[in-house]
Amino acid sequence: MQTSCSLMRRFAAIFYDILLLVAVLFLATAILLPITGGKAINNGNMLYFLYLLSCCYIYFSWQWTHGGQTLGMRSWKIRLVDKHGLSVNWVTVNKRFLLASISWLTGGAGFIWSVFDLEKLAFHDRYSHTKLIHEPSRKIGTDKSPD
């Protein structure tokens, strides 16, 4: 049975992913240094903002479509699946990323939504037809193979 993950487990995975994402964004910025001649990028530069946003998109979407887990999600035994419990595709991931961005832009209200949702789905899960499930680790020796 697939159990929806709790808000606290979700936030723990987000915290891990933020640490990793900051490192990715530092590297993405370092890649631009030869182009800028080593100078800082001006505050409010829309192209730079879109570049970093696309790096965030690639970080999440690639991992979601290739195993359903970011590194933070893997640490907290969370997997992203569609409403039928199957792997997500690029169309679903695009919708989820956009809606999750809206969830963040509203001060996290889209995440708090999961506290009141009967299935513990966040706003972006509900409307992208996805869910985060908690997959507790299996004990060694519980998988029996036929002889």
Helix (H) or strand (E) holding 81: strand 78-82
End-to-end CA distance of the chain: 26
Domain ranges of the chain: 3-134
What is the Cα–Cα distance from 95 to 127, expressed in whole angstroms?
8
pLDDT at 97: 96
What is the Cα–Cα distance from 139 to 142, expressed in whole angstroms?
6
User: What percent of the chain clears pLDDT 90, i.e. is strictly above it?
Assistant: 72
- Residue ranges of alpha helices (H) inside the chain are 7-36, 46-65, 71-75, 90-105, 109-116, 123-128
Give tens-digit pLDDT for 38-52: 888 888 899 999 999
